[in-house]
Structure 1
Amino acid sequence: MSHYHAVVWLDHNEAHIMHISPEDVETSVVKPATPHRNLQRKRGSVSGSRQPEDQHFYHEVVEAMSGAKEVLIVGPGQAKLELIKHIHAHDPKVADQVVGVETVDHPSDAQVVAFARKYFAAKDRMLSQ
């Protein structure tokens, strides 16, 4: 894959990984092996503990990011932060490729790509000054 930038949009149900070049976008979708369940137990539950994150899902997302030199991670909830924690714990070399983490709701893939292109253009302008 010859794309320099990638953007990952994810929640706990799926991840859309888009490798971006000026002329092209390559998209892949990763879904967890088991359907999403509520990760937080209700208050007053007997155990009061959280369900474990699906580490295999995060491994697959990181694998799908390979080839990109700079990665922007976006999403609506906590999954993007869990991915960052996973990267720092299991794939520390990939952590240097992550240039930003942003909160976005549930846009279309085209909207995510437009957002990422604007983000990377602004980042590149700032670095060239």
Structure 2
Amino acid sequence: MATPIRHDLDLLHTSLLTGKLPRNLSWADTVELIGQIGEVQPHGSDEFVFVVGTQRAFFKQPHTHELDVEEVSRLRKFLREAGPTRVAGEPGQPCRMVVVIDHHAAHVYQDFNRKVPVAEDTVLPYDPFGFHHHLIHRKEAHYKGDRVPEETSFYEEVAKDLLPANEIVLIGHGTGKSSAVDSLIEYLKTHHHNISRHVIATETADLSALTEPEIEAIAKRHMIVVV
């Protein structure tokens, strides 16, 4: 029977997929994480092959024993391309996300189930779920007309954040072409069907007046709270 991934490594994996790039990421923790979710194969004296799912990549052991920013960024890209990974035999831990989105920006709230300490200013202190907040701005372009055409890279960035989620609630305003929620759902169905299956509810709200406690209330209404 496979050994379930250790909790601290599970949090590191989630952070690498969706959070801020970790600072001071040690080589030892990196090798241990990859060894838990895939394989680490020696390749020469200081180079290793990381294998997760169908993805393979070469990483060199740093002389400082910590990965620099470029290598951490490359590790994130590698893990995202490998896709969501769960060790066989590991009990399912809900990863809940709420997206508040219009055609200009998306606020992505991820539930870490209160198992990580408060980090900088990214945690919403009112929230018993322990949601972390990530803001994605859409890149605007000069355009003559009523509204800038949809930019697929915007929805792709949101999709990347939603990779580990198994419960997703979308909050927006308007309907049809005026609704960024509808546009996101269509994008997910077309390009990320596995993610779209985890959308459990959508809500329409006045985003200009929507408060953080109201976002929390919507999340609690739709999501299963694990005690």
- TM-score of the superposed pair, with normalisation by structure 1: 0.75
**8 Å Cα contact 1:16-1:29 kept in structure 2:** yes
Q: 2:134 matched to 1:28?
A: yes
Note the C-alpha offset of 1:36: 9.0
Q: Per chain length, whose mean CA-contact separation is higher, i.e. which structure has more relative contact order (CA < 8 Å, sep 6+)?
A: 1
Percent identity of paired positions between Structure 1 and Structure 2: 26
Structure 2 residue identity aligned to 1:26: H
Q: Deviations over 1:17-48 (max 9, x none)?
A: 1012354111101011116968757xxxxxxx
Note the C-alpha offset of 1:113: 2.1
Structure number with greater Rg is 2
Structure 2 residue identity aligned to 1:111: E
Q: 2:195 matched to 1:94?
A: yes
Unpaired runs of at least 5, structure 2: 1-13, 15-92, 114-127
Match of 1:5 in 2: 96
Matches within 5 A, 1:36-115: 40=146, 52-77=149-174, 78-106=179-207, 107-115=210-218
Alignment RMSD: 2.5
Structure-1 separation of matches of 2:216 and 2:143: 28
- Alignment length, in residue pairs? 113
Match of 2:110 in 1: 19
* Helix, strand or coil at the partner of 1:114: helix
- TM-score of the superposed pair, with normalisation by structure 2: 0.45
Structure-1 separation of matches of 2:144 and 2:223: 33
* Helix, strand or coil at the partner of 1:83: helix
**8 Å Cα contact 2:165-2:195 kept in structure 1:** no
